[in-house]
Structure 1
Amino acid sequence: MAKKYNAEAIVALEGLEPVRKRPGMYIGGVSSAGLHHLIWEIVDNSVDEAMNGHASEITVTLHKDGQSVTVSDNGRGIPVDKHPKTKKPALEMVLTVLHAGGKFEGQNYKTAGGLHGVGASVVNALSKSLTAIVRRDGAQYKMEFERGVPQGKLQKLKGAVRGTGTSISFAPDPQIFPKTTFDAATIRARLETASFLHRGVKVVFHNEVDNVKETFLHEQGIVDYLAAVLKERKAKPIHESPFTHSVDDDIRLEVAMQWTESTDEHVRSYVNGIPTGSGGTHENGYRGGLNKAVRNYIDTHNLTPRGVKITHEDIREGMVAIVSIFISEPQFQGQTKDRLNNPEAHSLVESAVRSEIEQWMNSNRSIADAIIARIIAAARARAASRAASEAVSRKGGSKRTMLPGKLSDCVSGGKMESELIIVEGDSAGGTAKQCRDRNYQAILPLRGKVLNTESATLKKILDNREIQDVVASLGCGIGPKLDVAQLRYGRIILLADADSDGHHITTLLLTFFYRHMPQLISDGRLFIAVPPLYRIDIGKETHWAKDDAHREEILSEHNGRAKPEITRFKGLGEMMPKVLWETTLDPANRQLLRVEVDDQLETDRVISDLMGRDASARFRFIMDRAGDAEVDV
């Protein structure tokens, strides 16, 4: 029979009983995270002493049983005198009364993490046993508890002691937690982070389980932390010097960040030394300030790329950042303090970050330009990925897997010494096939001028037969799906006529590789062959000139000798196979130019201007170079 619902059915839990009944409300649950949260609550109290200048050392000991911990500091020590209202020692109140502490009036702590006044009492409530030892006024005091209940009165131990501080030892209650064994690695990581966030504070971890004792002390604070995170994530920065900023005004704010080659964003944020895994207003303010600073820099220096829209995700791709703020009245979401809710933190952080990042970028132009180039590359890759997904969806998942019929493959495909030579035209391709070393040289002829991929949609690119042949021959994929490990050749060589038409074809291919297979360039796999444009016979000597300037240089060197006979090649196809081999394909004699990108931002701009849809950029280019001997765009 159901119990009657009336006033007698209403239960009011008193003291620490609510904590034991509903531990999840206070520590997030009784899993491993909740278990370790007990340590964090006590450590946060010691950190509060340190960040307010009252402690310089914190020691955490994981005892041999792995199920009990001691947290000690050399702070002021929890007060032990009797409270004027309750007539109980202040130490007993802190450990047995919810919302009892010295952080509510703002007089003893400018900033604090344990601002709710429930941390120590919650740990006491959820511990099988807890012992508190306080050093104050030259004496030492001790008080013991079981499941939050005092086991006798506060004791004043015999003998005088030096210094001050608090030591809390506790063992979690197995009636509350399914598992009560702590993880040493988890504790170590949290303590090292605390030493990064509070530079100059010594944090000691004594792991008696493994008989290891470590001391963490980082004078550079979050700058050292950023370096450690980059190493941990194996993320390669794209610029050497990170952005760092520290200000102590309306709030104390510290930021350190660096862009890397990674494709994800990684931000670790903290409030008063407490990690805010779910972010909050301070983290949102940081992102807002960063986005505005970067956009202002792009607009100021006219770096907006054509044909692609830069999003917030593009700006933050590859960025690793540490954001730490200290405020007097933080408003956390729940006792676990996983998210900051202070609305004023957003505007304060955003304003400070925006102005400082913008000033830093303008003062470090080389670093800033590398960052912008990385952002533009991310924007193009994101656009290409979306277009590729749409194209694949429209095609119903069909995939071309056969090698193109025009490809004359080599015997040792897939080895580093093998090479794919992409040749302009069937005629030149036929000559190259006759003279190549088929053991390691593969030939792929293309029909005339290939598609301009800069001004084409990815669907159009994927539908183009010549591009399909190149992609299929290489076998490593395209765009975001490219995998260099699957590349079928050690080198890719572009071989076109030495005249302006040939240069144009080479430029079209370079545009394709730069936009859709950039890893092949960064890995040093892409080369340009240098065939001769002229044959110069002087007496019994034969010379090969790659261009007009080279021809004049050769003629000048041999001035006064026999009358030179000069032959200009109309194209690779009219060369004899033996000549093409000796001048262009033979590794002993040939000249190859490795394709490298020294300035990604400038390269991006040039390709966009010369190959993009905007004809005005090309017009300016032609007019600026109207006096040159030959301009082909």
Structure 2
Amino acid sequence: MSTTAAKRYDADDITVLEGLEPVRKRPGMYIGGVGMQGLHHLIWEVVDNSVDEAMNGHATEITVTLHNDGRTVTVSDNGRGIPVDRNTKTKKSALETVLTVLHAGGKFDEGNYKTAGGLHGVGASVVNALSKELVAVIKRDGAQYRMAFAKGQPTSKLQKLKGAVRGTGTTITFTPDPTIFPKTDFDTALIRLRLETASFLHRGVKVTYVDESAKTKNTFHHENGIVDYLGKVLKERNARPIHELPFTLRKDDSEARVEVAVQWTESTDEHLRSYVNGIPTGSGGTHENGFRSGLNKAVRNYIDTHSLTPRGVKIATEDIREGMVGILSVFISEPQFQGQTKDKLNNPETQTTVENTVRPAMEQWMNNNRSVADSVIARIIAAARAREASRAASNAISRKGGSKRTMLPGKLSDCVSGGKGDSELFIVEGDSAGGSAKQGRDRNHQAILPLRGKVLNTESATLKKILENKEIQDLVAALGCGIGPNMDLSQLRYDRVVLLADADSDGHHITTLLLTFFYRHMPSLIAAGRLYIAVPPLYRIDIGKETYWAADEPDRERIIADHGGRSKPEITRFKGLGEMMPKTLWETTLNPKTRRMVKVEIDDHLETDRVISDLMGRDASARFRFIMERAEDAEAIDV
């Protein structure tokens, strides 16, 4: 029995966070994190409020300005303007209430907004809470009002500015709080893309983006809405449609407004971008489920009605959607999102609404355009036959079960506990590095598979070419869980799969090629949290009797700054993993107690898909554009 008196736990130990304290204490609960995604979420929250005014017919123009410091943003609209009169419940002006009280806003009353993206009443107050400074300027009733805040607290009273003004609207200027966000510099390309997307989803609304430091101004205005958006997405993905006439749908009733634009292409993957009240839903939700179900039933009904069922092959749902590129935009009165970040829609009734809207419209479109519909059905049947052939080829190169050692690639040095315990497969760049890794590893738990040279770029290769590639065959055989739609994660022979390449630009390229393969053809490996990237050192730094390892140049400079005062550092740059002694490789990269590894996770599927398509696809202009837009950000080029 312990002799130390335990601290008493009573009512005084319960902490009550008041006002906006919960937001500053736990920002991740409200914006999903304090990284770049959370930082930009501040802009989206303010823009969504302006978009809500436009959706409900109160605004026609929205302007977003990124100021010269790159950290301050102004969002303005010509909507009705946030009310400034006194709120009877809070005894504060409505403006102060909206910006300082959680769950306060005008969207809880159905009479104010028919549809809205911000329904929780926390967006504006969260932005205020996480901003170093925020200034609101309101135009209403022929007058202009101003109020300033800092970290969620008012720093000035509501002021009525001198002089009469025309029009109405709201202008919010804010600077994120650097004590909350590690990095407060906004990505101008990301902002521009999001605003252009908003102009597609809300046709007729003029959206302007001003970047003061770049001295650029972009105005987006699309009268054809998501039909124009579909054309842009097809061009970006370099996807060649198999039919000229897209399927389009716009239906507005008391339950919802559903807009769809779809075309089938020669691509081998499905690409659907979905939105609810103008908000991107990267994780999908019930509206996507309803769309896919309606699409599936419409196509199957058409096949049955016209006796087009193929012999010898069964059409699966993924065959119907293969090569399909689509935009789905839904507007509903009370969306239920999964969390404040609004990444997934949960409304169960929306699935039925969308399905019942899409199915009959798609059937009518196919029956009215028989030549187009027949080309789509031919595309679907071809996909089904290719899937069957792919499954046969996959089974031929897949190792089913951990006991069939004869099917493993010869260059694989397996571990004793393959498929059991804490096993790891290191996919290593080159035979030389593979040799050092084999000697330095823990043979009980770590397997090594060396790959020769640059891996095949699977983004630009056909499935047939991918399955014929010897390196890919060896990799799939070592993993043992199959590939593509027939992948069975339960058959994976290792607990973790680790990409291990040199810490230079060539190594990063090889890692990117492997990531592209896993993302496109083994995505469940990433979703399950089983894929990692090892972080080997690029530099060895000897200072006195101490040795330090640096992953890159900034890491090297930090170590020298922290420890270099004692004596002159001796710096050695590794040319590659192959020149490391096995013991060194174990200590720096393989030993679970001392190594550094990064788990591969996907926060934004739409953005990930776009980046991989731009950087690894056939369209070289996308890569050129990416490089030119970011050239000034490159501190050095490793040649």
1:247 alignment partner in structure 2: 251
2:34 maps to which of 18, 30, 35: 30
1:581 alignment partner in structure 2: none
2:202 alignment partner in structure 1: 198
What is the Cα deviation at residue 5 of structure 1?
1.4
Deviations, residues 18-51 of structure 1 (Å, cap 9, x unaligned): 0000000000000000000000000000000000
Deviations, residues 57-89 of structure 1 (Å, cap 9, x unaligned): 000000000000000000000000011222211
Is structure 2 residue 485 aligned with structure 1 residue 480? no
1:296 alignment partner in structure 2: 301
> Cα–Cα, structure 1 residues 244 and 397, in superposed 2: closer, same or farther, change >3 Å?
same
Answer yes or no: is the 8 Å Cα contact 2:393–2:467 preserved in 1: no
1:17 alignment partner in structure 2: 21
1:159 alignment partner in structure 2: 163
Highest Rg: 1 or 2?
1
2:336 maps to which of 331, 355, 367: 331
Query: TM-score normalized by structure 1?
Result: 0.63
1:320 maps to which of 309, 315, 325: 325
1:369 alignment partner in structure 2: 374
- The percentage of aligned residue pairs carrying the same residue is 74
What is the Cα deviation at residue 209 of structure 1?
1.8
Is structure 2 residue 184 aligned with structure 1 residue 180? yes
1:237 maps to which of 238, 241, 251: 241
2:231 aligned counterpart, secondary structure: helix
2:139 alignment partner in structure 1: 135
1:214 alignment partner in structure 2: 218
Is structure 2 residue 6 aligned with structure 1 residue 5? no
What is the Cα deviation at residue 396 of structure 1?
3.7
2:144 aligned counterpart, secondary structure: strand
**Using the alignment, how far apart are the partners of 2:51 and 2:81 within structure 1?**
13
1:503 alignment partner in structure 2: none
1:391 alignment partner in structure 2: 396
Answer yes or no: is the 8 Å Cα contact 1:77–1:134 preserved in 2: yes
Is structure 2 residue 152 aligned with structure 1 residue 169? no
What is the Cα deviation at residue 391 of structure 1?
2.8
Answer yes or no: is the 8 Å Cα contact 1:268–1:321 preserved in 2: yes
The one-letter code sitting in structure 2 at the alignment partner of 1:481 is K
What is the Cα deviation at residue 325 of structure 1?
0.7
Query: TM-score normalized by structure 2?
Result: 0.62
**Using the alignment, how far apart are the partners of 1:375 and 1:234 within structure 2?**
20
Q: What's the RMSD between the two structures over aligned residues?
A: 1.9
What is the Cα deviation at residue 312 of structure 1?
0.5
What is the Cα deviation at residue 281 of structure 1?
0.4
The 5 A counterparts of 1:70-469 are: 70-249=74-253, 250-393=255-398, 396=407
Q: Which runs of 5+ in 1 are unaligned?
A: 400-477, 487-633
1:386 aligned counterpart, secondary structure: helix
**Using the alignment, how far apart are the partners of 1:282 and 1:105 within structure 2?**
24
**Using the alignment, how far apart are the partners of 1:174 and 1:274 within structure 2?**
26
Answer yes or no: is the 8 Å Cα contact 1:384–1:479 preserved in 2: no
**Using the alignment, how far apart are the partners of 2:113 and 2:60 within structure 1?**
15
> Cα–Cα, structure 1 residues 11 and 397, in superposed 2: closer, same or farther, change >3 Å?
closer
> Cα–Cα, structure 1 residues 2 and 140, in superposed 2: closer, same or farther, change >3 Å?
farther
Answer yes or no: is the 8 Å Cα contact 1:392–1:398 preserved in 2: no
Deviations, residues 228-287 of structure 1 (Å, cap 9, x unaligned): 011111110010011000000121000000001111101111111111111100010000
Runs of 4+ in 1 over 3 A off after TM superposition: 392-399, 482-486
2:239 aligned counterpart, secondary structure: coil
The one-letter code sitting in structure 2 at the alignment partner of 1:79 is P
2:219 aligned counterpart, secondary structure: strand
Answer yes or no: is the 8 Å Cα contact 2:145–2:159 preserved in 1: yes
2:325 aligned counterpart, secondary structure: strand
What is the Cα deviation at residue 2 of structure 1?
6.0
What is the Cα deviation at residue 485 of structure 1?
13
Answer yes or no: is the 8 Å Cα contact 1:195–1:221 preserved in 2: yes
The one-letter code sitting in structure 1 at the alignment partner of 2:306 is H
1:168 aligned counterpart, secondary structure: strand
What is the Cα deviation at residue 345 of structure 1?
0.3
1:44 aligned counterpart, secondary structure: helix
2:301 aligned counterpart, secondary structure: helix
**Using the alignment, how far apart are the partners of 1:392 and 1:100 within structure 2?**
59
The one-letter code sitting in structure 2 at the alignment partner of 1:391 is A
**Using the alignment, how far apart are the partners of 1:163 and 1:32 within structure 2?**
35
2:553 alignment partner in structure 1: none
Answer yes or no: is the 8 Å Cα contact 1:381–1:479 preserved in 2: no
1:104 aligned counterpart, secondary structure: coil
What is the Cα deviation at residue 359 of structure 1?
0.7
**Using the alignment, how far apart are the partners of 2:408 and 2:8 within structure 1?**
64
What is the Cα deviation at residue 3 of structure 1?
4.0
What is the Cα deviation at residue 389 of structure 1?
1.9
Aligned length: 408
The one-letter code sitting in structure 1 at the alignment partner of 2:158 is L
**Using the alignment, how far apart are the partners of 2:86 and 2:203 within structure 1?**
35
> Cα–Cα, structure 1 residues 333 and 70, in superposed 2: closer, same or farther, change >3 Å?
same
Answer yes or no: is the 8 Å Cα contact 1:94–1:101 preserved in 2: yes
2:65 aligned counterpart, secondary structure: strand
What is the Cα deviation at residue 185 of structure 1?
0.4
